């Protein structure tokens, strides 16, 4: 279903990049301006140019320029062309621009400009430019009417209970969803544009009284250093401004849901939204957020605590299980009791490959299956990846190519890896690192590897704040939202690392229960 | 030099080191599971003047035995020392012998009598693979390897059976004493404080097949075998060292003539022995306060057990008979062996080191002339379902 | 970059881990058998006195590390000499620890692997930790110490069925002289090792009390060491205790509960690895700090790399075998006294005099 959206837009585009291309200024002559325009947009056939004159005073000549497809034609017809043509207002050539703004043009947002750059950016976003003969300024009139995807639940962040709205690709629509949830004047929204060629618009949101000003300054400082061709998605910005550039772990959060965004704003975080992408960037980011999901807050806290714990546990499992298997099977067989050992040995009799190679092969195979499952059209996808994997595994065991415990190891690894989507990129690499280390050095390698990973995690920072903070200070108010999800009537304070403005809840308000 | 060149050089250097590491490293230690032969028990015999003969029982993992609980395979080898014999086994076997699951070490009584077991045990303590909880056992048969040739009643792997039997023994029959390797070592090191004892096994005929049976303990002087105590005597011996956790004591309900005919069975639920000693300048006296909680689980004679005077009579008879029997076991041990298997030396050393340094010169004399005082106390908590 | 600051908790955690690190497998072979706990307590007494000296030095010069203090008290040249000496102490300690660790792994787990690659990988890990700085090390310690304690507690609870209190008797069987010698050994190998934390004194915030940090740490670690020792003696008995290289490790090997819970010693192995790596990281970091100040090298990574390689090479060649290491420990307790006692006392006296002069001005 196509929805045609009429919106107003705040024209405060702050272009922080220098654009040296267009040096011609606007002249007062309409013909010259249009000639320059045609020159600028040469070979772009979507620009439509329409000359008009006022029917009562044919000396008043205008030209309307818009980009076909981005505009709502009825606005242009009814609100721009009609009033201009039929206006009976007394206008004189050379002094009409203000009167046009105040008395003629029936548009909700109007802006004057002299800059060609602004004109280009406006035309390409769905605004109409009004060139006036005799004026060296033009009017930018809001006439946006492009099609936007309907609001739908994001695929990656599905919940069972709770709101189902998800961001779309239009910045203003996203902002409206946030605005409706935060109805006070402390929510600040600042616009910026990135990308030398794309001039993509982005906005930064934060709640003034809660946010950490140091982080905000640091963010602005880093955004100023961005010097890139085009920004198509939030991830472009993420990679350009994040700490620990080479780390596989995230240093900024992402989400596609407005309720999550507002929740993070209320904790003192800063949100970055980019036009054209439904993904919002949240910063600063704490490591524990990898394991948090907004659904935790909409459900019973016992269950959510268990779910959180399961996620952390499965993250650890997913990384360590293949290495542990190798260690048990190939190096330190003393760990297992005798009966288990004899069973394991029996299973491995007659299997040609050494255990390490088996593990590698099975892991790679499983990753291939997973990727195939994502790309294949949805009808076959699920069936193929999971069942196919198991069937292939079973066949491999029967043909004695792989040992049976191997299948269990791979299945556990894969399934636990899918439980926490935010870290699945890093999980693959960490798993591989641990596997290589344990295959060469046995248990020494495993412990060294896990220490390296631990140190790396401790080194991670996000905009000056260490990512693993809640785990070390062990203060009650900090921990109540990390490994477990404390009930709402216990959440008195916001996380201290994020903000100084701590108090969230008036008092430990238990309602009327016992 | 430019920064880029330095960075690349460093990167290459690090990569080289890492690659060298992987080439040089623990892949050497990589023991694929299918190349292991899990040794569960070792039997040591003397082959000729120079060589030991080792008989190793391993878990048989050929594909055919998937259903059964596990058969065992026997590997034999010879060598001048333990370690050499084990290595020589590689001449016959392709797989690597894996000792971390070894459970028992059976030594033939010939070796134990003539040479002593210290040199044998050293390898199994020093090497990191065999565990310190290995149980050394003395075989009462002619050789130690016959033990592994027997067929077990439950499982097919003798070593496991032996280990389980000895493990649970103090709670079931209390007829032998479980000593792990490290405890053996302690006992051997101590200056005559405590003589070593080890479980002893022999073969018996069970339904036409020869099976292993635990048969009391073997008594050592220093590290040489001296003799054995029968299972019954061992049961009484265990009272003196306070290691009884179960077991059956049989007593007569009354004395008929000179023959004592046992028809009562006491099942021991709990036992606590308090050991103490007294020294009067000349002789030692070993004092035992034994409190036993028992269940009267079998009454062969026609006695109405619920009557109080009957119970009292039974108890007093039991006290008397028990004392007699215990004292006779201790006396027998003193005369026959003269070793301090009761740990009195340790007791004295720990409570009165000065006295110990005085006595330890002639310790054997003191043991042989030691007096014993037994004060038993039986508490019968129930008599089963019947009165 | 802000100067790395540590909270009190981090300080204590690092110190405790440092102190008990390598004792995770040792726990008792100091030559006095069952009376070693008395020796431990005596060593604790001496240790408390000397750490008071260390803490006093930090107190007099808050937020300055050993290098700055030495230079402030004795002037640049003598100060630099002191720094070099103390850095050498740190390096040598690192060498011994590294070698001990790789020997242990060689004996117990990876028998075939040559020690060089083992040392390389250990140095890689410790180098990375040292490179991340003392703050990261502190945070690692906060996470690692509870884990360490938990594992110890767990194994101790499991061995409870095997302990015999009588193994502790007779008390005071050994002469007082022997006990004093043993306590000297304990003192130099554990408690006085905290002298190395003077290198990190600039991470101690001014408001934190250095006395508290030091005293808490040595008391907690003394408690741990006592527990480990008691367990080793009570499970193994005195002759085994003396004979084994790694008594606590052997003690844990005897745990056999319910037939399947029986290979717990790997957890102790992990503990030892963790403790040693933290200890070596501290040594590396201390040496790196010292040498950086002395030679004025800006690049932290370079100094670390040099120190690591040096430790690696010396580690490979200083000892031929485990036997030499254990024999060296006899000599080590005397050789290390100037670093642990003489230099700090000199620093203390110098600092007091300077402070006194300053106050009287």
Give me the domains of chain B, ranges plus CATH numbers: 33-229 (no CATH), 235-382 (3.30.300.210)
Out of B20, B128, B183, the one facing C108 most closely (by C-beta) is B128
Q: Minimal CA–CA distance to A362: which of A421, A316, A431?
A: A431
Q: With beta carbons under 8 A apart, name residues in chain B contacting A334.
A: 100-101
Does residue C37 sit in helix, strand or coil?
A: helix
Our CA dihedral for C212, C217, C223, C228, rounded to 10 degrees, sits at 180
Q: What is the structure's pLDDT at A18? A: 47
User: Looking at residue A272, what is its pLDDT?
Assistant: 92
Nearest to C263 among A335, A448, A471 (CB): A335
Q: Contacts of residue C114 in chain B, CB cutoff 8 Å?
A: 24-25, 28
In whole angstroms, give the CA distance from residue B217 to residue B236. Answer: 12
Residue B96 at interface with chain C, using a CB cutoff of 8 Å: no
Distance CA C104, CA C23 (A): 13
Distance between CA atoms of A439 and A358, rounded to whole angstroms?
A: 12
Strands B262-279 and B248-252: antiparallel
Distance from CA of A401 to the nearest CA of B (A): 14
What would the two tokens of residue A146 be? 């492009």
**Pair B148, B158: CB distance under 8 Å:** yes
In this complex, which of C132, C259, C266 lies closest to A459 when CB atoms are compared?
C132
Contacts of A459 (CB under 8 A, 6+ apart): A244, C132, C136
In DSSP terms, A71 is beta-bridged to: A144
Chain-chain contact of C237 with B186 (C-beta, under 8 angstroms) = yes
Within 10 A of C166 (CB to CB), how many other CB atoms are there? 15
Q: Is C209 exposed, middle or buried (0-12, 13-18, 19+ CB in 10 A)?
A: middle
- The first and second tokens of residue B116, run together, are 């002593």
Q: What's A444-456 look like in SS3?
A: HHHHHHHHHHHHH
| d(CA C11, nearest CA chain A) in Å | 13
Among the partner-chain residues A334, A354, A441, the one whose CB lies closest to the CB of B32 is A354
Output DSSP code: residue C107. Answer: H
Contact between chains at A350 and B27 (C-beta distance less than 8 A): no
Neighbours of B159 (CB within 10 A): 31
Tell whether omega for the bond before C170 is within 30 degrees of 0, i.e. cis. Answer: yes
Q: What is the pLDDT of residue B20?
A: 65
**Cα–Cα distance, B65 to A427 (Å, whole number):** 40
Q: Are B44 and B54 in contact (CB under 8 A)?
A: yes
Rounded Cα–Cα distance for residues A168 and A172 (Å) = 9
Separation between Cα atoms, residue A246 and residue A251, nearest integer Å: 11
Cβ pairs bridging A and C (under 8 Å): 73
* B203 within 8 A of B262, measured Cβ to Cβ: no
- Cβ neighbors of A464 (< 8 A, separation 6 or more) are A214, A215, A218, A284
Mutate to test the interface with C, among A341, A459, A467, A471 (most CBs of C within 10 A): A459
- Give the position of tokens 């220098």: A18
**Contact by Cβ (8 Å): C255, C51:** no
Residue B25: count of CB within 10 angstroms of its CB? 25
Q: What does the pLDDT read at residue A273?
A: 92
Q: What pLDDT score does A383 carry?
A: 67
User: Could you tell me which chain A residue has the CA closest to the CA of C108?
Assistant: A332
Closest CA to A405 of A343, A339, A360: A343
Hey, what domains does chain C have and what are their CATH numbers? 8-360 (1.20.1740.10)
Q: How far is A246 from chain C (nearest CA, A)?
A: 15
**Measured between beta carbons, which residues in chain A are less than 8 angstroms from residue B25?**
440-441
pLDDT of residue A4: 30
CB atoms within 10 A of CB A124: 16
Q: Among A120, A91, A119, which residue's Cα sits nearest to residue A105?
A: A91
Of B21, B25, B32, the CB nearest to A330: B32
CB C68 within 8 A of CB C79: no
- Contact (CB<8Å) C125/A443: no
Please return the burial class of B267, using the count of CB atoms within 10 Å of its CB with bins 0-12, 13-18 and 19+. Answer: middle
Closest residue, chain A, to B99 (C-alpha): A334
Written as tens digits, the pLDDT of chain C (361 aa) is 355 677 777 888 888 888 888 777 777 777 777 788 888 898 899 989 888 888 888 888 887 888 888 888 888 888 888 889 889 999 999 998 899 888 888 888 777 777 888 888 899 899 999 888 888 888 888 888 888 889 888 888 888 877 777 777 777 777 888 888 888 888 888 888 888 888 888 777 777 788 888 888 889 989 988 888 888 888 887 777 778 888 888 888 887 766 666 677 788 888 888 889 999 999 999 998 888 888 888 787 888 888 888 888 888 888 888 888 888 888 888 888 888 888 888 888 888 888 888 777 6
Q: Is B128 helix (H, G, I), strand (E, B) or coil?
A: coil
Selected for mutation to probe chain B from C239, C249, C255, C260 (highest B CB count within 10 Å) is: C239
- Res A229: pLDDT: 86
Q: What percent of chain A has pLDDT over 70?
A: 85
Interface of B with A (CB under 8 A): 21-22, 25-27, 29-34, 36, 38, 40, 59, 61-63, 66, 70, 98, 100-101, 160
Mutate to test the interface with B, among A246, A326, A334, A352 (most CBs of B within 10 A): A334
pLDDT score at A485: 65
Residues in C closer than 8 angstroms to B131, CB to CB, are: 253-254
Of residues C315, C308, A443, the one with CA closest to residue B26: A443
Six token digits for residue A271: 């949100």
The pLDDT assigned to B216 comes to: 85
Is B21 within 8 Å of A442 when comparing Cβ atoms? Answer: no
Q: Which of C125, C139, C262 sits opposite A337 (nearest CB)?
A: C262
Q: Residue A422: how many CB atoms within 10 A of its CB?
A: 21
Q: Are B150 and B210 within 8 A, CB to CB?
A: yes
Distance CA A94, CA A98 (A): 10
CB contact under 8 A, B28 and C113: yes
pLDDT attached to residue A451: 92
Say yes or no: C263 contacts chain A, CB-CB below 8 A: yes
pLDDT at position A7: 34
Asked if pLDDT for residue A12 goes beyond 50, the answer is no
Per-residue model confidence (pLDDT) at position B331 = 86
Taking residues A313-323, what's their average pLDDT?
91
CB C71 within 8 A of CB A402: no
Q: Using alpha carbons, list the distances in angstroms from residue A444 to A27, B158, C25, C147.
A: 76, 35, 16, 18
Q: Give the count of beta carbons closer than 10 Å to the beta carbon of residue B272.
A: 12
Could you report the per-residue pLDDT of B88-118, keeping only the tens digit for each? 888 888 888 888 888 889 988 888 888 878 8
| B28 in C contact zone (CB under 8 Å) | yes
Decide if C173 and B353 are in contact by the 8 Å CB cutoff. yes
Task: Assess contact for A385 and A377: CB atoms under 8 A.
Answer: no
Is the CB of A345 less than 8 angstroms away from the CB of B61? Answer: yes
Using an 8 Å CB-CB cutoff, list chain C residues near B189.
239-240, 243
Quote the pLDDT of residue A6: 33
Contacts of B220 (CB under 8 A, 6+ apart): B112, B117, B195, B196, B197, B198, B226, B339
Q: Which residue has the tokens 């060469």?
A: A440
Backbone phi and psi for residue B8, each to the nearest 5 degrees, phi listed first: -65, -40
CB-count burial class (<10 Å; 0-12, 13-18, 19+) for C51 = buried
Average pLDDT over residues A325-343: 79
Q: For chain C, what is the total number of helices (H) and then of strands (E)?
A: 15, 0
Q: Residue A443's closest chain C neighbor by CA?
A: C109
Task: Give whole-number Cα distances, C104 to B379, C110, C242, in Å.
Answer: 53, 9, 17
Measured in whole angstroms, the distance separating CA C259 from the mean position of its chain's CA atoms is: 36
At a CB cut-off of 8 Å and minimum separation 6, what does C317 contact? Answer: none
Q: Do B70 and A356 touch (CB under 8 A)?
A: no
Nearest CA among C356, C359, C355, C348 for reference residue C56? C348
pLDDT score for C61: 82
pLDDT along chain B (387 residues), means of 10: 68 72 58 78 85 85 57 84 87 84 87 84 84 87 84 73 82 80 79 77 82 85 83 86 83 64 82 86 85 84 78 84 87 82 81 81 82 86 79
- Chain A residues in contact with B97 (beta carbon < 8 A): none
Tokens of A48: 């439509």
Interchain CB contacts (distance < 8 Å): A and B: 67
Is B379 an interface residue toward C (CB < 8 Å)? no
Q: Collect all residues of chain B within an 8 Å Cβ-Cβ radius of residue A351.
A: 34
Burial of B382: CB neighbours in 10 Å, binned 0-12, 13-18, 19+: exposed
Q: Is the minimum CB–CB distance between B349 and chain C shorter than 8 Å? A: yes
Enumerate the residues of chain C whose CB falls inside 8 A of the CB of residue A472. Answer: 10, 139, 142-143
Nearest CA in chain C to B163: C259
Name the most confidently modeled range: A271-275, A503-507, B59-63.
A271-275
- Looking at the DSSP bridge assignments, the partners of residue A207 are A187
pLDDT at A204 over 90: yes
Tell whether the torsion through CA atoms of A221, A222, A228 and A231 is positive or negative.
Answer: negative
Helix or strand (DSSP H, E) at B82: helix B82-88
Question: Other CB atoms closer than 10 Å to residue A280's CB: what's the count?
Answer: 24
Q: What pLDDT score was predicted for residue B28?
A: 61
Give A248→chain B minimum CA distance, Å: 19
| Crossing angle of the two packed helices B308-336 and B231-240, in degrees rounded to 10 | 100
Cis peptide before A284 (omega within 30 of 0): yes
Residue identified by tokens 């067929």 is B151
- Report how far residue A388's alpha carbon sits from residue A403's, in angstroms, rounded to the nearest whole number: 18
Q: Output the CA angle A201-A203-A206, nearest 5 degrees.
A: 180
| Among the listed residues C146, C263, C110, the one whose alpha carbon sits nearest the alpha carbon of residue A437 | C110
Contacts of C128 in chain A (CB under 8 A): 452, 455-456
Phi/psi for B248 (5° steps) reads: -120, 135
A312: left (phi over 0), alpha (psi -120 to 50) or beta: alpha
Top mean-pLDDT range of A263-267, A298-302, C29-33: A263-267
* A-chain residues near B26 (CB < 8 A): 331, 440-442, 444-445
Query: CA A207, CA A307: separation in Å to the nearest integer?
Result: 30
The dihedrals phi and psi of C236, each to the nearest 5 degrees, come to -90, -35
């Amino acid at each position: 279903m196509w929805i045609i959206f009429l919106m107003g837009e705040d024209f405060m585009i702050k272009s922080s990049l220098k654009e040296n291309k267009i040096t011609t200024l606007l002249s007062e002559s309409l013909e010259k301006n249009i000639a320059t325009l045609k020159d600028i947009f040469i070979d772009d056939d979507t620009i439509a140019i329409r000359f008009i004159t006022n029917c009562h005073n044919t000396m008043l000549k205008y030209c309307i320029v818009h980009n076909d497809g981005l505009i709502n034609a009825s606005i242009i017809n009814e609100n721009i062309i009609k009033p201009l043509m039929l206006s009976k207002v007394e206008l004189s050539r050379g002094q009409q621009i203000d009167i046009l703004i105040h008395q003629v043009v029936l548009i909700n947002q109007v802006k004057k400009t002299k800059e060609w750059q602004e004109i280009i950016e406006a035309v390409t976003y769905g605004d109409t430019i009004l060139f006036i003969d005799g004026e060296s300024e033009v009017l930018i009139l809001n006439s946006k009417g492009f099609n936007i995807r309907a609001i739908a639940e994001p695929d990656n962040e599905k919940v069972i209970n709770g709101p189902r709205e998800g961001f779309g690709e239009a910045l203003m629509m996203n902002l409206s969803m946030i605005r409706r949830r935060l109805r006070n004047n402390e929510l600040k929204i600042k616009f910026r544009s990135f990308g030398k060629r794309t001039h993509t618009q982005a906005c930064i949101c934060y709640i003034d009284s809660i946010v950490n000003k140091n982080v905000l300054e640091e963010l602005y400082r880093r955004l100023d250093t961005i010097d890139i061709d085009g920004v198509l998605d939030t991830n472009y910005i993420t990679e350009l401004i994040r700490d620990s550039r080479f780390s596989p772990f995230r240093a900024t959060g992402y989400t596609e849901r407005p309720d999550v965004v507002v929740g993070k704003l209320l904790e003192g975080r800063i949100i970055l939204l980019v036009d054209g992408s439904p993904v919002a960037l949240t910063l600063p980011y704490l490591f524990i957020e990898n394991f948090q999901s907004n659904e935790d807050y909409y459900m019973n806290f016992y269950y959510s605590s268990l779910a959180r714990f399961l996620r952390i546990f499965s993250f650890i499992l997913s990384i360590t299980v293949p290495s542990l298997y190798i260690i048990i099977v190939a190096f330190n067989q003393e760990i297992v009791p005798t009966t288990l050992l004899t069973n394991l040995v029996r299973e491995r009799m007659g299997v040609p490959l050494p255990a390490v190679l088996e593990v590698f092969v099975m892991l790679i195979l499983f990753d291939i299956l997973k990727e195939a499952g994502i790309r294949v059209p949805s009808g076959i996808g699920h069936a193929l990846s999971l069942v196919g994997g198991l069937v292939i595994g079973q066949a491999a065991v029967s043909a004695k190519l792989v040992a049976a415990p191997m299948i269990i190891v791979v299945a556990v690894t894969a399934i636990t890896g899918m439980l926490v989507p935010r870290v699945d990129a890093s999980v693959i690499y960490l798993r591989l690192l641990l596997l290589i280390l344990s295959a060469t050095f046995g248990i020494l390698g495993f412990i060294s590897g896990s220490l390296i990973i631990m140190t790396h995690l401790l080194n991670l920072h996000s905009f000056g704040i260490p990512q693993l903070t809640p785990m070390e200070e062990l203060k009650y108010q900090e921990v109540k939202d990390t490994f477990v999800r404390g009930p709402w009537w216990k959440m008195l304070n916001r996380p201290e690392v994020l903000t100084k403005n701590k108090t969230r809840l008036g008092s430990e308000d238990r309602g009327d229960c016992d | 030099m430019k920064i880029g060149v330095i960075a690349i050089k460093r990167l290459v250097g690090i990569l080289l080191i890492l690659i060298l590491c992987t080439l040089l490293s623990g892949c050497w230690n990589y023991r694929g599971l299918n190349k292991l032969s899990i040794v569960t028990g070792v039997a040591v015999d003397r082959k000729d003047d120079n060589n030991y003969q080792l008989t190793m029982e391993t878990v048989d993992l050929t594909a055919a035995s998937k259903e059964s609980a596990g058969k065992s395979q026997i590997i034999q080898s010879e060598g001048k020392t333990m370690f050499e014999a084990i290595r020589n086994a590689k001449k016959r076997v392709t797989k690597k012998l894996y000792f971390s699951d070894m459970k028992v070490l059976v030594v033939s009584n010939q070796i134990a009598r003539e040479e002593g077991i210290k040199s044998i045990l050293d390898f199994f303590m020093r090497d990191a693979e065999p565990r310190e909880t290995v149980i050394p056992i003395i075989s009462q048969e002619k050789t130690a390897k016959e033990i592994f040739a027997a067929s077990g009643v439950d499982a097919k792997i003798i070593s496991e059976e032996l280990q389980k039997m000895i493990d649970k023994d103090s709670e079931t029959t209390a007829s032998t004493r479980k000593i792990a390797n490290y405890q053996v070592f302690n006992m051997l090191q101590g200056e005559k404080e405590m003589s070593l004892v080890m479980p002893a096994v022999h073969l018996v005929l069970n339904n036409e097949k020869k099976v292993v049976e635990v048969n009391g303990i073997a008594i050592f002087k220093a590290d040489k075998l001296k003799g054995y105590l029968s299972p019954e005597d061992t049961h009484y011996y265990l009272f003196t060292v306070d290691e009884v956790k179960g077991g059956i004591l049989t007593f007569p309900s009354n004395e008929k003539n000179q023959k004592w005919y046992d028809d009562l069975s006491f099942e021991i639920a709990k036992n606590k022995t308090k050991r103490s000693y007294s020294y009067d300048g000349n002789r030692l006296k070993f004092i035992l306060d034994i409190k036993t909680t028992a269940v009267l689980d079998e009454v062969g004679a026609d006695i109405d057990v619920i009557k109080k005077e009957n119970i009292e009579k039974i108890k007093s008879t039991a006290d008397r008979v028990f004392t007699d029997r215990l004292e006779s076991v201790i006396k027998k041990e003193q005369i026959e062996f003269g070793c301090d298997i009761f740990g009195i030396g340790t007791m004295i050393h720990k409570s009165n080191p000065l006295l110990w340094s005085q006595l330890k010169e002639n310790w054997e004399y003191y043991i042989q002339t030691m007096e014993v005082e037994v004060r038993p106390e039986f508490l019968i908590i129930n008599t089963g379902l019947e009165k | 970059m802000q100067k790395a600051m540590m909270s009190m908790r981090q300080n204590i955690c690092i110190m405790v881990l440092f102190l008990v690190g390598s004792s995770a497998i040792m726990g008792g072979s100091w030559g006095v058998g069952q009376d070693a706990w008395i020796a431990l307590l005596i060593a604790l007494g001496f240790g408390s006195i000397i750490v008071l000296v260390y803490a006093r030095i930090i107190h007099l010069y808050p937020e300055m590390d050993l290098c700055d203090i030495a230079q402030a008290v004795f002037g640049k040249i003598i100060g630099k000499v002191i720094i070099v000496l103390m850095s050498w102490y740190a390096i040598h300690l690192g060498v011994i620890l590294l070698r001990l660790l790789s020997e242990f792994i060689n004996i117990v787990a990876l028998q075939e692997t040559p020690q060089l690659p083992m040392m390389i990988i250990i140095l890689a890990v410790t180098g990375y930790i040292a490179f991340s700085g003392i703050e990261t090390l502190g945070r690692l310690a906060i996470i690692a110490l509870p884990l360490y304690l938990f594992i110890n507690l767990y194994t101790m609870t499991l061995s409870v069925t095997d302990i015999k209190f009588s193994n502790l008797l007779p008390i005071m069987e050994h002469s007082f002289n022997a006990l004093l010698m043993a306590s000297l050994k304990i003192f130099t190998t554990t408690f006085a090792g905290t002298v190395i934390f003077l290198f990190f004194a600039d991470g101690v915030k001014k408001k934190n009390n250095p006395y508290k940090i030091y005293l808490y740490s040595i008391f907690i670690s003394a408690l741990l060491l006592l527990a480990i020792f008691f367990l080793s003696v009570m499970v193994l008995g005195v002759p085994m205790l003396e004979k084994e290289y790694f008594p606590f490790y052997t003690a844990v090997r005897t745990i056999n509960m319910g037939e399947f819970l029986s290979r717990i010693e790997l957890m102790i192995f992990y503990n030892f690895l963790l403790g040693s790596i933290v200890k070596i990281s501290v040594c590396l970091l201390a040496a790196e700090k010292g040498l950086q100040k002395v030679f004025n090298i800006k690049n932290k990574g370079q100094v670390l790399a040099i120190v690591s390689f040096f430790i690696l090479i010396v580690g490979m060649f200083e000892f031929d075998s485990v036997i030499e290491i254990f024999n060296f420990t006899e000599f080590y307790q005397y050789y290390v006294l100037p670093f642990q006692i003489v230099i700090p006392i000199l620093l203390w006296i110098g600092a007091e005099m300077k402070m006194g002069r300053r106050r009287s001005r």
